[in-house]
Amino acid sequence: MTSFDWHAPVTAVASALLLLAAPAALGQSSPTPSGEAPMLAERVAAGGLAPLADRLPESPRVVDSVDGIGRYGGTWRTGAREAAPTWPLRTITYDHMTHWTPDWSGTVANIPESIEVNEDATVYTIDLREGMRWSDGEAFDADDLMFAYEVWGHPDLAGFPEWMMSTEGPGVVEKVDAGTVTVTFPSPNATFMDGMAQVTTVIGGDAFTKYPAHYMRRFHEDHAEGDLDAQVADAGVSTWQELFTLRSDTLLNPDKPTLNAWVVTQPLGEGSRIVAERNPYYWKIDSAGNQLPYIDRVVFEVVQDPQVLLLKALAGEIDMIATLINEPENKAVLFDNQERGNYRFFDMTPSDANLLNFAFNQMHKDQAMRELLRDKQFRAALSHGIDRQEIIDLIFIGQAMPLQTAVLPSYPQLHDERLATQYLEYDPDLANEMLDEAGYTERDAEGFRLREDGERLGFAILTRADKAFMADAGQMMVEHWQNLGVDVRLDVVDRNLVRSRKNANDHDVIVEDFPGGARDALLRPTPWVPMHHNAAYGIPWYDWHRGEGGEEPPANIIRQFELWDQVNATADTEQRLEAMRQILENAADDFYNIGVAVPLSQYGIVSNAMRGVPETMSGSYWFAPPGPTNPPTYWFAESAN
């Protein structure tokens, strides 16, 4: 602790440069690359590596740590799971064409110097950084993007990423010159930039730069020189497509060059760790001109059971993690051991629009049920009849807050107070009064209210068995609602059965949890616009909208679809937000979904020696934390390991 080991050439001169360079970074000229990691400087001195200036592009991307200029060195020890390893994708390989801004207000160009878009979001012009290189030193240019485009279009390979699809088909990628590429869509596609900032495990935001042409060509049927069949046989796969998929996987193949800050040296599946070391050709610098990343090496302990990671964290063997072990039930034990493990907490703002969203089927096949579920007064009364605090205390051990299904107050750009808080307070008297007012005054011998046709007033809640908290909370709500004289039943079934009954429109009310509480509202506004197959309140509307039968929706829903098209038809952020705000305002009138609660906060842990990790970041899956907060700018304040 006492002797700060400044073996990195981050000198007073560099710090002084920072003061001069910081404003300049905002303008045109970027700081001159001047610092590099000692391990790289040694290789340069030994003649095994080109000097810094030759390795960086002419205009490197400049990003700074939230804790000032860092120092080089150290190993970031963390963990991962073997199947669907999203944490490595969110940390070491989060270098896509675009990045979310750290506050999730929008996107910025990351790999290219700039991405220009025309007014109606149909033509995107991508301007690459001149002189940029892959981690093996080969040039990265427009041909690499063109090769990726060819790969997507190949009938036997992965297919087009979601963000390359407009409503009228995939975009067309054209090379203008070695450093410029245009993407032209047949119809507006405003999700292009957002899509590339995301991490998905299938065809991800990295699809443009996942296939370095000079390397991947040899595994492609149309380009391979030499015997591709022999390579297929050697790899133990049966087709060249499988070989191609295998070789293009960044975590599995340490030979594939990348643009990431750390390059995998020990791949997933070989031993019980993934190890990634700094990329000597990484194209980002801090505002003092030091090449990033600061940290030399990232090591993921690959585990089957997260309990192992938890024990390692308690023993101080984890430097930063916000996955697998950051469950509410672990918070107490992590809190108690902060001192021994030498770590602190940071906040991950949740973005669930709701943990328990009750979607009332507006298109029920039975006419009488449809009328009942469409009665807004009825739904409002039910909402007042829920003792949300009781559910929060018992099911979520107090770690939640009562709210309707809405964008959260923590994302003020889209927060609609009426949508979030209407009919929220627990008031059984008011609820009963409202039900009486709605005309359900008759009751049968058991005290249940009757519909106009003399049938019992009631419905069935459908929920999936694999999320226990939904069934538990559902059971409590059945009780709350039966107290109002409404005969509610809970069906807990396998998740696949929920899906098939939902798709067939054979349900009354379905419980689900939904994202969409922050910026992800612009990606999946499912509870408010029936644009996704999870919109259980209007499946026939969803089918109609995608042109697969269904039923024409009423005017208010058509209006929602029009607004949603507007959101996607312009690249102007303010216009998109404005259209989205209207959607949310209309949704408050519709009130098709009753929400119960949203989580209060989530957390990650970070070593006391580590700097550059913000105190707060979004915890949404769609934000891919901590990627947008720039892990290459994290650093260690002392020689901890």
Partner 1 sequence: MLAYVARRLLYMIPTLFLISLVSFAIVQLPPGDFLDSYISTLEAAGGDVSSREVELLRARYALDGSVFEQYFAWMGNVLQGDFGWSFMYQRPVEDVLWGRVGLTFLISLASMLFVYVVAFPIGVYSAVRKYSVGDYAFTFLGFLGLAVPNFLLALVLMYVSLTVFGQSVGGLFSPEFQDAPWSWAKLWDLLAHLWIPVAIIGTASTAGLIRVMRANLLDELSKPYVETARAKGLSERRLLLKYPVRLALNPFVSQVGWELPALISGAAITSIVLNLPTTGPVLLTALKSQDMYLAGSFILILSVLTVIGTLISDLLLAWLDPRITYE
Q: Summarize as ranges the residues that interact with partner 1 (CB under 8 A).
A: 77, 82-84, 86, 158-159, 162, 165, 200-203, 235-238, 242, 245-246, 249, 252, 266, 269-273, 275, 299, 301, 303-305, 307-308, 311-312, 314-315, 317, 352, 466-467, 494-497, 499, 515, 524, 532-534, 620-622
313 vs 381 by CB, closer to partner 1: 313
In the complex, least distance from residue 470 CB atom to partner 1, rounded to whole angstroms: 12
Mention every residue, 6+ apart, whose C-beta is less than 8 A from residue 119.
Answer: 570, 571
* Residue-level length of the chain: 641
134 vs 542 by CB, closer to partner 1: 542
What would the two tokens of residue 282 be? 């990484």
Place of tokens 């809405």: 406
| Chain centroid offset of residue 17 CA | 36
In the complex, least distance from residue 134 CB atom to partner 1, rounded to whole angstroms: 22
In the complex, least distance from residue 357 CB atom to partner 1, rounded to whole angstroms: 13
In the complex, least distance from residue 600 CB atom to partner 1, rounded to whole angstroms: 16
105 vs 239 by CB, closer to partner 1: 239
Reference 386, options 523, 511, 448, 478; nearest CA is 478
How many whole angstroms separate alpha carbon 86 and alpha carbon 258? 18
CA distances to 167, 338, 387, 579 from 545, rounded to whole Å, are: 11, 52, 36, 18
In the complex, least distance from residue 114 CB atom to partner 1, rounded to whole angstroms: 28
End-to-end CA distance of the chain: 12
Reference 563, options 543, 548, 578, 545; nearest CA is 578
How many whole angstroms separate alpha carbon 165 and alpha carbon 352? 26
Mention every residue, 6+ apart, whose C-beta is less than 8 A from residue 140.
Answer: 128, 132, 133, 134, 209, 212, 259
In the complex, least distance from residue 580 CB atom to partner 1, rounded to whole angstroms: 19
What would the two tokens of residue 415 be? 């927060």
In the complex, least distance from residue 553 CB atom to partner 1, rounded to whole angstroms: 19
What would the two tokens of residue 365 be? 């096949």
Give the angle subtended at the CA of 323 by the CAs of 321 and 329, to the nearest 5°.
105
77 vs 379 by CB, closer to partner 1: 77
In the complex, least distance from residue 429 CB atom to partner 1, rounded to whole angstroms: 37
What would the two tokens of residue 533 be? 């197959």
Crossing angle of helices 240-247 and 228-235, in 10° steps, is 70
In the complex, least distance from residue 496 CB atom to partner 1, rounded to whole angstroms: 4
How many whole angstroms separate alpha carbon 256 and alpha carbon 144? 13
How many whole angstroms separate alpha carbon 413 and alpha carbon 415? 6
270 vs 455 by CB, closer to partner 1: 270
How many whole angstroms separate alpha carbon 477 and alpha carbon 387? 8
165 vs 430 by CB, closer to partner 1: 165
How many whole angstroms separate alpha carbon 544 and alpha carbon 546? 6
132 vs 471 by CB, closer to partner 1: 471
307 vs 441 by CB, closer to partner 1: 307
* Pair 299, 87: CB distance under 8 Å: no
142 vs 470 by CB, closer to partner 1: 470
32 vs 201 by CB, closer to partner 1: 201
82 vs 455 by CB, closer to partner 1: 82
In the complex, least distance from residue 561 CB atom to partner 1, rounded to whole angstroms: 17
Give the angle subtended at the CA of 614 by the CAs of 613 and 616, to the nearest 5°.
135
In the complex, least distance from residue 265 CB atom to partner 1, rounded to whole angstroms: 9
In the complex, least distance from residue 285 CB atom to partner 1, rounded to whole angstroms: 30
Which residues is 133 bridged to in the sheet? 139
317 vs 347 by CB, closer to partner 1: 317
Mention every residue, 6+ apart, whose C-beta is less than 8 A from residue 555.
Answer: none
CA distances to 90, 235, 294, 425 from 283, rounded to whole Å, are: 19, 33, 13, 53
* Pair 181, 174: CB distance under 8 Å: yes
436 vs 494 by CB, closer to partner 1: 494
In the complex, least distance from residue 201 CB atom to partner 1, rounded to whole angstroms: 7
Mention every residue, 6+ apart, whose C-beta is less than 8 A from residue 459.
Answer: 369, 372, 373, 486, 488, 489, 508, 509
- Residue spans of beta strands (DSSP E) within 224-296: 262-266, 273-278, 284-285
Task: Determine phi and psi for 110, rounding to 5 degrees.
Answer: -110, -70
35 vs 515 by CB, closer to partner 1: 515
In the complex, least distance from residue 497 CB atom to partner 1, rounded to whole angstroms: 7
In which element (H, E) is residue 575 found? helix 573-590
CA atoms within 13 A on the CB side of 90: 23
In the complex, least distance from residue 499 CB atom to partner 1, rounded to whole angstroms: 8
41 vs 235 by CB, closer to partner 1: 235
